[in-house]
Structure 1
Amino acid sequence: MATRSFTSRRELEQHSFPSAVALLVPLGAILLQALLPRPFPRLAILDLPLIVTIFFAVSRRNPVAGTLTGAAIGLLQDALTAQPIGVNGMAKSVIGYIAASIGIQVDVENLTTRIFINFGFFLINSFLLFLINRRLLGLTNFHIYWGHEFIRAAINTVVALPIFYLLDNTKRTE
């Protein structure tokens, strides 16, 4: 008679990373995000910290860890940019939580899934930033041009795929 295992998918495929990777990759993404647009203004369209937040959240498959990772990355990003402190922290916390929750349910190693997840999360991030700036901060002059945001989401998705591939090589299965 066949026996059933009651181990959840999350427990089977939860990944961890070496401490150096878990610390240096987000810091590198934040520093590149803060420094690259100065000499190369066109690179301001990229959101490397969001790419890293999504990757670590879906890989760890732990909503609490995803939320904390998003909060830490977002707050550090706010500290190095002209954003009010907490704007990116709040948005990336929500993204980290949702990404980790989806990572539990869906095969996030699949290329098609990664494309949809990244594209969707970039649009959600734009919407969250809009809500935070317009509703919480009361900045009535903050506008989003959704055509630009779709292009931005597509470009960031294309950039995210090779980054995900490179970071996949650093995973340790628990």
Structure 2
Amino acid sequence: MATRSYTSRRELDEHTFHPAVALLVPVAFIILQALLPKPFPKLAILDLPLIATIFFAVSRRNPIAGTFTGMVIGLLQDVLTNQYIGINGITKSIIGYTAASIGFKVDVDNLSTRSLMCFAFSLAQSGLLYLIQNHLLGHLGVPVLWLHELIRAVVNTLVAIPIFFLLDRTRSDE
């Protein structure tokens, strides 16, 4: 007779990381994001902290942890860049919450889902940054180059996929 398990999907799929990985990977991505565009201006199109936020939020599948991860990564990014403190904190908190919520309901371990999420979240972050700058900060008339934002989303997606596969090797299932 077959037995049924009453283990929830969350209990089956929630992943944890060694504390060193959970701390050092986002910090390294933030530092690279701050330093790489100076000698290589074309690398400013990358958003490595966004990739870290999406990966850790989706892997943990916990909206509270995703929000907190996004907030910490975003605020650290704000400290090291020329942004007002809190702009990236707000956007990455929203992205972290949304990514964790989607990760709880959808199989996010396959390539097509990950690609679609990275692309959509990159565009969503661009839209959120635009809204924050125009409506909260009052920088009216700041132009948005949507073609550039589409290219940014594609580039971030292409960079995120191999990073996700590398970071998948660091997670432990409990």
TM class by shorter chain equals over 0.9
1:69 maps to 2:63: no
Tell me the equivalent position of 2:141: 141
After superposition, residues 80-91 of structure 1 pair within 5 angstroms as: 80-91=80-91
- How far, CA to CA, are the matches of 2:50 and 2:153 in structure 1? 11
Question: Unpaired runs of 5+ in structure 2?
Answer: none
Which residue does 2:127 correspond to in 1? 127
Distance (Å, rounded) in 1 between the aligned partners of 2:11 and 2:136: 37
Deviation (angstroms), 1:167 = 0.2
Q: Give the letter for the 1:22 counterpart.
A: A
Give the alignment's TM-score, normalised by structure 1.
0.98
1:166 corresponding residue in structure 2: 166
Structure 2 CA distance for aligned equivalents of residues 130 and 103 of structure 1:
26
In structure 1, give the amino acid aligned to 2:77: Q
How far apart are 1:119 and its partner, in Å? 0.3
> Counterpart of 2:132 in structure 1: which amino acid?
I
1:105 is the counterpart of 2:109: no
Distance across 2 between alignment mates of 1:154 and 1:125? 13
1:141 match: secondary structure: coil
RMSD between aligned alpha carbons? 0.8
Aligned to 2:26: 26
Looking at structure 2, the residues matched to 161 and 40 of structure 1 have their Cα atoms a distance apart, in angstroms, of 22
Q: CA deviation at 1:145?
A: 1.2
Aligned-partner Cα distance in 2 for 1:13–1:28? 26
Amino acid in the other structure paired with 1:108: V
* TM-score, L = length of structure 2: 0.98
Q: 2:56, 2:45 → 1: CA distance?
A: 21
Instruction: Mark the runs of 5 or more structure 1 residues left unpaired by the alignment.
Output: none
Which residue of structure 1 lines up, in the alignment, with residue 53 of structure 2? 53
Counterpart CA distance in 2 for 1:38 and 1:128 is 25
How far 1:160 moved relative to its partner? 0.2
Q: Percent identity?
A: 66
How many residue pairs match? The answer is 174
